[in-house]
Structure 1
Amino acid sequence: MPSFSTIAALSLPLVQLASAHGHVAGIKVNQGAWIQGADPNWFYQPQGSVPETPGWQALNQDNGFVSPDAFSTADIACHKSAKPGKKYIEANGGDTLTLYWNTWPDSHKGPVINYLAKCNGECTSASSGGLSFTKISEAGYLSGNNPGTWVTDTLIAQNFTSDVKIPSGLAPGNYVLRHEIIALHGAGSKNGAQAYPQCLNIKVGGSGSKSLPSGTPGSSLYTSTDNGIIFSLYSAFNSYPIPGPAVWSG
């Protein structure tokens, strides 16, 4: 399989490379077979004309973001006007999912945050506004300042990939993984942070017995004035408060 850096270079005009954002183009479970993610350009395509995937489709043809003034809407859950994926990633508690972004700009430094929501029935017919999310992992600032080194730099260095572990012992069922990057290059100003939520359906198997806590609706995860949503990347600092609820100890 070609590297995503190669794909990005071949598929985007040079004038776009400096400003291109990204989306989750594919997934592997425990470094197994490639699973196709959602392509934003499929959003308006007739049903049956594009592959069915676990990735949620969104009104996101520019690989764009959800801004803080929309954090109180359902758009922040799984991106703008999100429609559920039609298939599932099959995994067990303790498995590691590797998420492959098609590209990511090095200027867009910030945290990578992962949440799970239990579906009431099939995730393939769920509504993003009806999901409640539990944070299962997070990473952000690593070292330095102005702007410093961040987990997004690690993602780029690892061929645009990010790993997330399904909590060990998680009870079987249908879940939505909410995988998100928050870019902070404009976050020193009001409404300047950029959220890039990506949702994928997961069917968890195995014999685990741990249930997720009740969780938080997407529209209540953040406010536009939270620490970590407003943050001056181009200043002196030695820490960063990752926004949202605490990570579930599980």
Structure 2
Amino acid sequence: MSISKIAALLVSSAALVAGHGFVSGAIVDGTYYGGFIVNTYNYMPEVPPNIGWTEKATDLGYIDGSGYSSPDIICHKEATPGALSAEVKAGDDVELQWTVWPESHHGPVITYMANCNGDCSKVDKTTLKFFKIAEAGLINDSNVPGKWASDELIANNNSATVTIPGSIAAGNYVLRHEIIALHSAGEVNGAQNYPQCLNLKVTGGGSAAPDGVLGTELYKATDPGIKINIYTALDSYEIPGPALYTGAAPGSATTAAATTAPATTATASTVSASPIQSSSSRHLTRTRTARPSYSPTRTPTPSSAPTSAVTTSTVTVVYTKAPSTVTETATATASSAPHVTNEPDTQNASSPADVTITSTASGQSAQSSTPASGGDDSKPSVSGNATAAAAPPAAPPAAPSSGDYSTYLSSLSAEQLLETIRSTLKWLVSDKKVHARALAY
């Protein structure tokens, strides 16, 4: 690929954030686990093992009311179980990371769990019975169409955090996380469901085995929270699906003062009368550190017990253009941050590592792990306030005013090309607020 095409690809990455999204990964007990990258993995002959369920919605589309009785509503189109499971202690948090979400697609954010009663990688999805562990709907309707849970997810860096109920029995579970877009829900089958699933191995906990509902019976196209016109003032809004599990963590339900939910959930939910994010909506308002990007390939790292010590890790970004390679190193310090693992069967917390991100002409990225200087028992940490340790390359010559950027880019030296790419990335990520992970698509 020519230099001009590479530069054009970088600039065009900004347009990729305009579409519907999907859950690209999750932070479980502080450790990052990659999910199923629907717009990449579907085109690979061999998919890297991950905790996400495979699905065929390569158009990043949805399931509408006509598909509520179809198995596609369970974990999206033609979904099959993920190969791995992320281990989590009952009572701990799982942060679900969406690639992006359109601001116009207002609606509730709902999360369920279902016990696999065995190996989740081999479970028949049509037998799973889901119980609701978190829900959030209309937050404030003072300004139509109102502020919704999806808006809070966007404000929280396209992420939602849920708490695994502390009372459920240990075992293998499927976590089903979903946004329902209501911007066209005034008509039957106008609501758009975007279900996403991943596998968890729950440890600890109690002995509770909550009753559940088959995925094909969660919704009806005429449910009050499904068929609704959000462009008129709403006196109330009923979050779709079965009642919230009574053992759900406090704060796992968030509604506006004028919003109602099924009566059976009243004793298990906390109501917030304010549109301001607060502890009553903690599954959508968790403050996060910088997340790692995902890639089609990862190298597992050995497990070790993390400590609370503050350590320093190094991020090395390698820009490759045959036959030369230019490397830039940055150092950052923070109290805690997620780490990437990808081990067979069950992914476990890993020892600290330097993460190497390699960008190639195809636009894909790869990560590898090597021991960091913090020691085997150090906890990995990355901060968004990274300070470059490498000397900056020579500044490129001024761009031609004629707009002949192909000739201009071809005339640059390796150092000058690197500076141009760095400036473009800074403009996309820092100035235009494009999430860094979106640049990999």
**TM-score, normalization by structure 1:** 0.90
Aligned residues of 1:110 and 1:152 also touching (Cα < 8 A): yes
* 1:248 lines up with 2:245 in the alignment: yes
Distance in 1 between residues matched to 2:11 and 2:236, nearest whole Å = 37
Q: Secondary structure of the equivalent of 2:151?
A: helix
Provide the residue aligned with 2:25 in structure 1: 26
User: After superposition, where does 1:188-199 map in structure 2 within 5 Å?
Assistant: 188-199=186-197
Provide the residue aligned with 1:205 in structure 2: 203
Q: CA deviation at 1:92?
A: 1.2
* 1:146 lines up with 2:144 in the alignment: yes
**TM-score, normalization by structure 2:** 0.52
Distance in 2 between residues matched to 1:76 and 1:82, nearest whole Å = 9
Residue ranges of structure 1 left out of the alignment (5+ in a row): 1-8
Distance in 2 between residues matched to 1:177 and 1:10, nearest whole Å = 36
Letter in 2 for 1:227: P
Distance in 1 between residues matched to 2:234 and 2:81, nearest whole Å = 39
Distance in 1 between residues matched to 2:21 and 2:124, nearest whole Å = 23
Distance in 2 between residues matched to 1:174 and 1:98, nearest whole Å = 18
The Cα offsets for residues 35-75 of structure 1, whole Å up to 9 and x where unpaired, read as 101111323533xx222111001111111111110001111
**Quick one: structure 1 residues 132 and 207, their matched pair in 2 at CA, closer, same or farther if it must change by over 3 Å?**
closer
The Cα offsets for residues 176-210 of structure 1, whole Å up to 9 and x where unpaired, read as 00000000000011211000000110000115222
User: After superposition, where does 1:2-13 map in structure 2 within 5 Å?
Assistant: 12=13
* 1:51 lines up with 2:62 in the alignment: no
Residue ranges of structure 2 left out of the alignment (5+ in a row): 1-9, 248-441
* 1:70 lines up with 2:67 in the alignment: yes
Provide the residue aligned with 2:225 in structure 1: 228
Distance in 1 between residues matched to 2:12 and 2:201, nearest whole Å = 32
Distance in 1 between residues matched to 2:243 and 2:13, nearest whole Å = 38
Letter in 1 for 2:153: L
Higher RCO, 1 or 2 (CA under 8 Å, sep at least 6)?
1
The Cα offsets for residues 122-144 of structure 1, whole Å up to 9 and x where unpaired, read as 01011221211111111010002
Distance in 2 between residues matched to 1:86 and 1:143, nearest whole Å = 40
Distance in 2 between residues matched to 1:201 and 1:25, nearest whole Å = 13
**Quick one: structure 1 residues 60 and 11, their matched pair in 2 at CA, closer, same or farther if it must change by over 3 Å?**
farther
Q: Secondary structure of the equivalent of 1:196?
A: strand
Q: CA deviation at 1:17?
A: 4.1
Q: CA deviation at 1:151?
A: 1.1
Aligned residues of 2:17 and 2:100 also touching (Cα < 8 A): no
* 1:96 lines up with 2:93 in the alignment: yes
Aligned residues of 1:143 and 1:238 also touching (Cα < 8 A): no
Q: Secondary structure of the equivalent of 2:154?
A: helix
